C-alpha cells in the first residue's frame, strides 16, 4: 500500500482545501471533523506522509500521540466532558476512509451516545466549538 498525496488530509495540510484548525506544532495539526460525532470531535494528523499506524514511524506516532493527549485535555475543559474516546482505523477493512494517519478525539459525557457517522455538521456550530477548544488549550 502506497501513500496517495492527493488524499483529503494531505490537501488540508497543503491548505488546498479549508479546514477548521484548532492546534498546530512542528510535527502535527489538529482540526475539526466535518461530520462530528460529538460536539468536540477533533482529528489529529502528522504533517509528514503515512497512510496509517501500519506504516507510521515511531517518531510520527510519538508526535501524534503527544497532540492527541493535549487535545484530549483541551476537550475535557472546553466541553466540561466526563471522558474521551479515541478512534483510529487502519485500511479499508479496518474502517479507514481517508488514507493519511489520523486519530479521532471525541469528548464524551456520562450516558451519551456517539452521533451517527457520515452526517455533515453545522459549520457555525463547528466554528464555535473550535473557538472553545482553542481557548481551552491556552488555559492548559
Q: What positions carry a catalytic annotation?
A: 102
Residue 98 binding ligand AMP, by CB under 6 A? yes
Please answer whether residues 20 and 41 qualify as being in contact, where contact means their C-beta atoms are separated by less than 8 angstroms.
no
Please answer whether residues 79 and 3 qualify as being in contact, where contact means their C-beta atoms are separated by less than 8 angstroms.
no
- Which 62-91 residues touch ligand AMP, going by CB under 6 A? 89
Stretch 1-40: interaction string toward ligand AMP, x if CB under 6 A: -------x----------x-------------xxx-----
Of 111 and 118, the one with the shorter C-beta distance to ligand AMP is 118
Of 36 and 76, the one with the shorter C-beta distance to ligand AMP is 36
Instruction: List the strands of the sheet with 28-32, edge to edge.
Output: 21-24, 28-32, 41-46, 103-108, 83-87
Torsion of CA 44, 84, 59, 45, to 10 degrees: -10
Binding residues (CB under 6 A) for ligand AMP: these are 8, 19, 33-35, 43, 89, 95-98, 102
Amino acid at each position: 500500500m502506497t501513500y496517495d498525496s492527493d488524499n483529503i488530509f494531505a490537501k488540508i495540510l497543503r491548505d488546498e482545501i479549508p479546514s477548521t484548525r484548532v492546534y498546530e506544532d512542528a510535527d502535527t495539526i489538529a482540526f475539526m471533523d466535518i461530520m462530528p460525532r460529538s460536539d468536540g470531535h477533533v482529528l489529529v494528523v502528522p504533517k509528514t506522509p503515512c497512510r496509517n499506524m501500519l506504516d507510521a514511524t515511531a517518531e510520527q506516532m510519538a508526535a501524534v500521540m503527544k497532540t492527541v493527549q493535549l487535545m484530549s485535555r483541551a476537550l475535557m475543559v472546553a466541553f466540561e466532558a466526563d471522558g474521551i474516546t479515541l478512534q483510529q482505523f487502519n485500511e479499508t477493512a479496518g474502517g479507514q476512509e481517508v488514507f493519511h494517519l489520523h486519530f479521532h478525539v471525541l469528548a464524551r459525557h456520562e450516558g451519551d451516545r456517539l452521533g451517527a457517522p457520515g452526517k455533515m455538521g453545522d459549520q457555525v456550530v463547528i466554528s464555535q466549538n473550535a473557538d472553545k477548544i482553542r481557548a481551552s488549550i491556552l488555559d492548559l
